[in-house]
Amino acid sequence: MRRIEAAQIIKNVGSSWFSLGINIVVGILLSPFILHRLGDTAFGIWVLIFSITGYYGLFDLGVRSSIIRYVSRFTAMHDTEATAKLINTSLFAYSCIGVLSFLITIVGALHFDSLFHVSPELQSSTRWLFLIVGTSVSLGFPLGIPGGILQGLQRFYILNWTNVATALLRAALVVFFLDRGYGLLTVGMITVILPLLASVVRGVIVLHLLPVPFGWRYINRETFREIANYSGITLIVILASQLRFQTDEIIIGTFLSAAAITYFNIGARIVDYAIQTVLSLAQIFAPMSSESDAVGDQDRLRKIFLAGNRFCAFIMFPICAILIILGKSVIEVWVGAKYVSQSYPVLLVILIPSTLFFAQASSGRILFGVGKHRTWAIVSVIEGFSNLILSILLVRPYGIVGDAWGTAIPLTCSAVLFFPAHLCRLLGVRMKTFLREAFELPLLLCVPLVAALLGIKRIFIAHNYWQLGIQLAVGGAVYSLGLLWAFKTNRALRVRSLFPGEPAFAQAAAEAVPVQSFPGDE
């Protein structure tokens, strides 16, 4: 890969991890602050409302993924006319979606307390909070287009720096107002308004980077049809993702209580932080794959597949080991000891299948990038509905842990039975080669990490931030030394390097067969 492209990747990934690190630190410090100020019930309602409005993502209809794919594709082909049609048509579609979402929000706000168990003293605040959050999400559809364009242009670092500014400002404002006695609605206003302002800033930047013309003449049926053909399949994947990750709080709120949502959310939130760490890396592979597909560079696609999943495993495996060994201490230090007994089992049940799945996070980004995600969409729907059914069946007899098992079982099946075989066939890579080259070294590097963590845990159990910080520092130092050795000796890049022209990929390319397509994947 050219030096400019390599520098772009480093800038994108580095800024993504910095942004994510800021968000995680803010979340770790801010969540218990909000929880203890609002109480278990109000915090559970907070989580429930954001889970419900998360379903508004279905109204995206896959348009954002189309923007990312086709912006990267059209700019690689230097097709300014097609880019203008894409952006104008997407803006019109998103504006219509925003209006529809706002109407649904009004109806939902009027009937919220009749659908969920909300205590009388919180009913008014709950309705207003739902209205505020839902309106923000509705506006976020057209205002989110600049973010998709920046991803398509592989300018992730612009997104990341605006996210950092938003996160820090949000944290400061939430602490300021909660300390002065303000409550749920104020926190909600701060949380939803700042991202909208960030979107406006991104829009100004995009107009400078990609000065496309605007007008009704650029809104046409052919472009909409092209977007719809791609995004229709993406919508199915989005639906399945919502069923997989957004139904738990709603099911718990319906069958158990708002307070139970809080205990579930603590364990699930920690796993989500781990997932976001991986996705912040994996997101760069969608536009890279689309660009490679546009110019017919199949060797580079294979390199992205092998290298991308190895790098995802470099992140996901050690996080999994740390949370299994130190998870109880993490929960105790973060929110308090009373949450450990119920939240830690939830963390364990969700963590292991999530590790298996998101260690392959670049596989999904590649499917989106090359537009061959139909089969994944079908599998995802089966997984999503299985998740929903199992969670409903298990939540009453087994509580929040039963709901977690409803998520874990289908996710494990997708991670083990579908993704490896499907991507290896699609890209022409032997399964044995993929498993060895993607996961062998990351697993090896985790062995000394596990030994170090178990050793220091025998010396003392962490009950505060200082003790936990020492344990994490020891484990992090051991794993960092292993990573340094892997990169210094070139073992981290030897076969799966992202940089074309290196002889390192020769072995994998020699073992690969021509790239295949599956019926319906085009």
Residue found by looking up tokens 């919180």 in the block: 122
What's the pTM value of the predicted model, to 2 decimals?
A: 0.66
Q: What is the pLDDT of residue 335?
A: 81
What is the C-alpha R_g of the chain? Answer: 23
Residue 497's pLDDT band, with cuts at 50, 70 and 90, is very low
Q: What is the pLDDT of residue 355?
A: 93
Burial of 466 (0-12, 13-18, 19+ CB in 10 A): exposed
Alpha carbons 127 and 121: distance in angstroms, whole number: 12
**Nearest to residue 54, comparing CAs of 133, 151, 170, 164?**
133
**Nearest to residue 418, comparing CAs of 376, 481, 472?**
376
Longest alpha-carbon distance in the chain: 70
> 333 Cβ partners below 8 Å, 6+ apart?
462, 463, 464, 465, 467, 468
- Answer yes or no: are the C-beta atoms of 308 and 282 closer than 8 Å: yes
Letter for the amino acid at 291?
E
**pLDDT 10s digits, 91-147:** 888 888 888 888 888 887 777 666 666 666 666 777 777 788 788 878 888 888 888
**pLDDT 10s digits, 137-180:** 788 888 888 888 887 777 877 878 888 888 888 888 888 887 77
Q: 295 is written with which tokens?
A: 């110019």
Residue 167 neighbours by CB distance under 10 Å: 22
Alpha carbons 119 and 128: distance in angstroms, whole number: 15
Alpha carbons 98 and 102: distance in angstroms, whole number: 6
* Residue 510 in this model has a pLDDT that exceeds 60: no
Provide, rounded to the nearest whole percent, the portion of the chain with pLDDT above 70. Answer: 81
**Rounded mean pLDDT, 214-227:** 78
Alpha carbons 413 and 393: distance in angstroms, whole number: 19
**pLDDT 10s digits, 423-475:** 888 888 888 888 988 899 999 999 999 999 999 999 999 888 899 999 999 99
Q: 301 is written with which tokens?
A: 């696609």
Letter for the amino acid at 193?
I
Distance of CA 206 to the CA centre of its chain: 23
Least confident range from 166-175, 217-226, 287-296: namely: 287-296
Q: What is the pLDDT of residue 189?
A: 78
**pLDDT 10s digits, 20-69:** 677 777 777 777 777 776 666 777 776 777 777 766 666 666 677 778 77
Alpha carbons 412 and 354: distance in angstroms, whole number: 8
Residue 515's pLDDT band, with cuts at 50, 70 and 90, is very low
N-term to C-term CA, the chain: 28
**pLDDT 10s digits, 361-374:** 888 888 877 777 77
> 270 Cβ partners below 8 Å, 6+ apart?
323, 327, 330, 331, 334, 347
